[in-house]
Structure 1
Amino acid sequence: MNLPKLAIASLGGTVSMQARTAGEGVVPTVSGATLLASIPELRSHAHVTVETLGMLPSASLDFEYLLSVLCWAKYQIEQGAVGVVITQGTDTLEEAATFFDLLWDHDEPLVLTGAMRSAAQAGADGPGNLLDACRVGLAEKSRRRGVQVVMSGQIHLAQAVRKSDSMGLQAFSSPNMGPTGLLTEGAVRYLHPARQRNVLPSPKHTTHKVALLQATLSADTLLLENILALGYEGLVIAGFGAGHLSETWTEAIDAIADKIPVIVATRCGSGSTARSTYGFKGGEIDLIQRGASMAGFACPRKARILLWLLIGCQRQDDLARYLKEDIRF
C-alpha cells in the first residue's frame, strides 16, 4: 500500500514526562519513538518518521531553537511529507504555534500538540492528542491552513489559541472565535474555511530584544523609563481594559515610541483593544497620537512574537498591516 508520509518531532514537555524514581516530580524522559509506539494504529494510515529533537520543558524553549525546529519541519515537507506534527510542552504552546505560523510558507499542515497529564499518569492524554494531531496532519482538508494546535479533540488556529487553564484537561481555547475544527469519531471536521495568511521571511538577525511589560494598579515606571537604555528594540505593554495606561506610564511613551516600535495590547483574556472610544490621557486615542500601535485582537504574548519577527526581518513598517482586525489572534 502506498501510504502518505508523516513526520513527527518531539521537543519534550509533559507529554514526554515521567518520574525517574517514585515520589519525585516528572521530567522529560520519553522519546518520540516511545510516544509513537503508544498509537500503533497510526502505522496503517501513514509511513511515519519520528525524531526526538529535544527533551525540554517548554518554558526553556527560545526563538533560536524554534528556528532550528522550523528548518527541520520544512525539510520534512521537501522530502515528501504531507504533514508535520510537533509535540512539546503546553506552557508555551500558544507562543510556539504563533511563531511557527508567521514563518510557515507551505500548504502542508504543521500541527502542534502536547499533554496536560504526564505519560505516567492514569488517563494520560498524550497518546490521544498525538493521534488526533496526526489525523489532522494527514487530512487533505488541513492544507493551506498554516499552523494549528490540536488538544482534547479540538483544532485551534495558531493565532487564536491560548492556554486558559493551568492544569485542567480542557486547558486550551480560542476566546475570540472558538475552535476552527473538531475531531469526532476519528474524523477531522472543520467549522471555518481556510483563511488568507500573511507569512514573513526568516529573520535576518536574531539577537534583538523585545520587552513585554504589564500595566498594573499603581505600578512604578522604573523599568519603562529604562527600556531604551537597556537596549530593547521593541516594547509591548499589556494594558488595562481596551488598551489603556496610567498617566505616569503614558508620559514615558513619547520618548520611547519615537525610538522603537511600541504596541499596547489588552491584558484581558479576550477581546480587542479600542481605537477611537476613550479620549482621556492614557486612553487609546491619546496613545496612538503618541506613536503607539494598538494590538487589536493580538494578546500581548503573540504581539511580542510578531514584533520580534518583524524587527528580525526588517519589516517594522508592516506592523499596522499585521495588527489589522481581520487577522485574528
Structure 2
Amino acid sequence: MNKKVIVITTGGTIEMSQANEAEGIRIQDQHTLQKTLPLLNQYANVEMEHLFNLPSPHITPAEMAQIARRVEKYLDREEVKGAVITHGTDTLEETAYFLDLVLPKNKPVVVTGAMRSHNELGADGPYNLVNAVRVASHNNADRKGTLVVFNDEIHSARTVTKTHSSNIATFQSPGLGPMGVITKKNVIFYREALYEKQLPLNTPSHQVALIKTAAGMDDSIIEWAIAQKMGGIVIEALGQGNVPPMMLPGIRKALAQRIPIVLVSRCFNGTVLDTYGYEGGGKQLKEMGIIFSNGINGQKARIKLMLALEMTTDRQRLEAYFHM
C-alpha cells in the first residue's frame, strides 16, 4: 500500500460531462478526477497532477512530448513505482506509442481513459483509472514498456488500437489479444512486451503525411504532400503492401526529392512484404527505396517517423529504426 503512483491527467471523456443533449459532452472542471483520490489511495499512495485538459483530437506531438517529459521527471524519483496518464481515446494509442518509444522501460507507464463521461450511466472512467493504478503499482508490470488499460484488459502500446467508436471494449490488439487481464484480486500477464529501439525524447519538428490507399487512387495527394514540403510520408497500402499504379509517379518524385516514405498495410492484421512483382506491387516499391514498417499501423508509423526524423534524414538509418 506504500507504493507511490503518479497520475497525470490530460483531459478527454474521462474528465467530461454532459449537461444536456443540446450541449453535448464537454470539458468541465479540470479537477474532476481529484474526487477519485480516496478510492485510488486504497491501492497505492497516489499523487495527481493536472497537466492540461484537452480533448484528444487537440493533442499534437508537442503535447505528447510534454507528457513524456513530466512522466520522465516523476519516474526519476526513487520512491515512485509507476505513472498513469489519463487521456482522450481518439488519439490515445498514438500518445501511448510515443511514450513507449521515448521512455525507459524499467518502471510501468500506463495510459487509460473512458468511453463514457463521468455523469453518464455506466461511466467507465473511475473503474479504468483504479485498474490503471493497480497495474502501475504491480511488480509484474516492470519492464513491459507503456501499457494501455481498459475494460479489465492490459495491452501493449505497440499493438493496441481503437476498434469501436463507442463501445467500452474498444481497445484491442488485433491478432495478438491483450498482454494481460485485471481480476478483482490480481493483475495477470500472459506474455512479455516486444521491445523497440528507444528514440530520444524530442518535440517533433517535421510534419509527416499519412495517406490511405484505395482503389483507383492517383498521385495527387502525394503531389500535395511534396508541395507542402512534408518531412516524410506514410502510405497505408493495400494488402501486403501494394498500391494502384497511378500513384507511382508521385512516389518516384517524392523519393527523388529525398522525402522518406514508410509503407504499412491498411489491414489491421499482418505486415507488408515485397511479395508481388507487378506494377505497384510490394516488390517494386521495396526496390524503389520505400521503407517497409514492422507491423505497426499507419498512425503509429507516422509517430515513429516523426521522432526518427529528429535524428536523421538518411534512408538507411531511418530504415533501421523500423526494423526494431
TM-score, length-normalised on structure 2? 0.94
1:273 maps to 272
Aligned-pair CA distance for 1:194: 4.1
Q: Please list the CA deviations of residues 214-250 of structure 1 after superposition, one character each: whole Å capped at 9, or x if unmatched.
A: 1112223222123222111111011111111111102
User: For 1:6 and 1:261, how far apart are their aligned partners in 2?
Assistant: 40
Aligned-pair CA distance for 1:315: 6.7
1:41 maps to 39
What amino acid maps onto 2:102 in structure 1?
L
Q: Please list the CA deviations of residues 146-189 of structure 1 after superposition, one character each: whole Å capped at 9, or x if unmatched.
A: 10000000000000000011111110100031111110124110
Q: Is the 8 A contact 2:12 2:53 kept in 1?
A: yes
Please, which moves more after superposition, 62-71 or 147-156? Answer: 62-71
Q: Is the 8 A contact 2:312 2:318 kept in 1?
A: no
1:294 maps to 292
The DSSP-based 3-state class of the residue aligned with 2:119 is coil
The DSSP-based 3-state class of the residue aligned with 2:225 is coil
Please, which moves more after superposition, 23-32 or 79-88? Answer: 23-32
1:19 maps to 18
For residues 1-329 of structure 1, the aligned pairs below 5 Å read 3-20=2-19, 23-32=22-31, 34-38=32-36, 40-79=38-77, 80-203=79-202, 206-258=204-256, 259-275=258-274, 277-314=275-312, 316=314, 317-324=316-323, 327=324
Q: Is the 8 A contact 1:202 1:313 kept in 2?
A: no
What amino acid maps onto 1:68 in structure 2?
Q
The DSSP-based 3-state class of the residue aligned with 1:56 is coil
The DSSP-based 3-state class of the residue aligned with 1:41 is helix
Cα distance change, pair 22–245 in 1 and its aligned pair in 2 (3 A): closer
Q: Is the 8 A contact 1:160 1:176 kept in 2?
A: no
Cα distance change, pair 296–281 in 1 and its aligned pair in 2 (3 A): farther
Percent identity of equivalent pairs? 33
User: For 1:28 and 1:18, how far apart are their aligned partners in 2?
Assistant: 7
Q: Is the 8 A contact 1:104 1:199 kept in 2?
A: yes
Aligned-pair CA distance for 1:36: 4.4
What amino acid maps onto 2:245 in structure 1?
E
Q: CA RMSD in A?
A: 1.8
Cα distance change, pair 295–188 in 1 and its aligned pair in 2 (3 A): same
User: For 1:22 and 1:168, how far apart are their aligned partners in 2?
Assistant: 19
The DSSP-based 3-state class of the residue aligned with 1:228 is helix
User: For 2:283 and 2:242, how far apart are their aligned partners in 1?
Assistant: 9
TM-score, length-normalised on structure 1? 0.92
Q: Is the 8 A contact 1:132 1:186 kept in 2?
A: no
Q: Is the 8 A contact 1:298 1:323 kept in 2?
A: no
User: For 1:206 and 1:43, how far apart are their aligned partners in 2?
Assistant: 36
Q: Is the 8 A contact 1:254 1:291 kept in 2?
A: no
Q: Is the 8 A contact 1:265 1:299 kept in 2?
A: yes
The DSSP-based 3-state class of the residue aligned with 2:300 is helix
